[in-house]
Amino acid sequence: MPRVLALDTATHACTLALYDEGEVCGRHEIVARAHNRHILGMLSAILEGKALADAVDVIACGVGPGSFTGLRVAVSVAQGLAWSQALPVHGFCSLTAQAHAAGHHGLLRQGDRVLSTIDAQIDQFYGLWGMWRDGAFVADGKAFVCAPEDLLAVSSSPATVVIGSGARYQERIPEELTSASQWLPEVTPDARVIAELLGGGTLALQPEPAHALSPQYVQRDIGWKKLSEQGRRG
């Protein structure tokens, strides 16, 4: 079984874990906008004095979608560690990881129609539709970004569970798309779950060189303006 170091900073959670021979050691902290100040210290705690090359076979990294800065932190740290020790990397979808975390913690039931969301902080959210089936999250299509009112269904079945920080838009999501009995905005990706699923073989590892890892922003037209374009403040 490969020894997997997993990390994700796509949300306000900074989460890292190491899977080694069936054992998982992890750290999970809510540190919005401070991932870069905590992630290396958390890594040191997980390694417990071991050299990275002696403890890890592959580095799994959440590539989003999610926080623009958070994604850059995760990817740059994963690439830096991988390059320094000639280790392969494995990129995973943060929305999928979030759904697996919900299932692992007993929040999903067989057959649940799941909408995994992350607040995009611009009056929109990132989302991914899927089903919880036989102990795994099976995604429908790809991750997307939209305003709550513009959410589109990808099947005739409405969501029964909405997870992640985008659930705060509950009142604005069309009622016909959710028969949700559960709204779970506090669910985040959990590196301990992903490390165990990848290390134990439940999810397939797809190792690749460090340079191949890149953030998946999804949002292309953010609508930001340069200072020169904003005009004078009153």
65-99 tens-digit pLDDT: 999 999 999 999 999 999 999 999 999 999 999 99
157 pLDDT more than 90:
no
pLDDT value of position 219: 66
**pTM for this one?**
0.91
With a pLDDT cut of 70, the percent of the chain lying above it is: 93
Q: State pLDDT tens for residues 168-181.
A: 999 999 988 888 77
pLDDT value for 136 = 96
What pLDDT does 115 receive? 96
Element of type H or E holding 95 = helix 94-104
Alpha carbon of 164 to those of 2, 59, 72, 170, 182: distances in Å?
29, 24, 20, 11, 11
**Structure-token match 């102990």, residue found:** 135
What pLDDT is recorded for position 234? Answer: 36
Contacts of 29 (CB under 8 A, 6+ apart): 13, 14, 15, 38, 42
CA end-to-end distance (rounded Å), the chain? 61
Mean pLDDT of the chain: 91
Distance of CA 96 to the CA centre of its chain: 7
d(CA 142, CA 149): 19
CATH 3.30.420.40 fits 4-93+189-212, yes or no: yes
- What is the pLDDT at residue 218? 84
What is residue 65's predicted lDDT score, i.e. its pLDDT? 97
Domain boundaries along the sequence of the chain: 4-93+189-212, 95-184
4-93+189-212 and 95-184 have identical folds: yes
Evaluate whether 161 touches 113 at the Cβ level (below 8 Å). Answer: yes
Find, among 15, 18, 17, 26, the residue nearest to 1 by Cα. Answer: 18
Name the token pair of 46: 């997980």
Higher pLDDT, 101 or 220: 101
Written as six digits, the tokens of 130 are: 């899927």
What integer pLDDT is reported at residue 225 of this predicted model? Answer: 35
Question: Which fold, 95-184?
Answer: Nucleotidyltransferase; domain 5 (3.30.420)
Q: Do strands 4-8 and 13-20 pair parallel, antiparallel, or not at all (unpaired)?
A: antiparallel
Cβ atoms of 203 and 137 within 8 Å: the answer is: no
Rounded Cα distance between 140 and 159, Å, is 12
What was the pLDDT predicted at 228? 39
Q: Which of 33-42, 100-109, 184-193, 217-226 has the lowest mean pLDDT?
A: 217-226
* Amino acid occupying residue 233: R
Read off the pLDDT band of 32 (50, 70, 90).
confident
User: Closest Cα partner for 134 from 204, 206, 202?
Assistant: 202
What are the tens digits of pLDDT across the range 52-69?
999 999 999 999 999 999
Q: Is the peptide bond before 65 cis (omega within 30 degrees of 0)?
A: yes
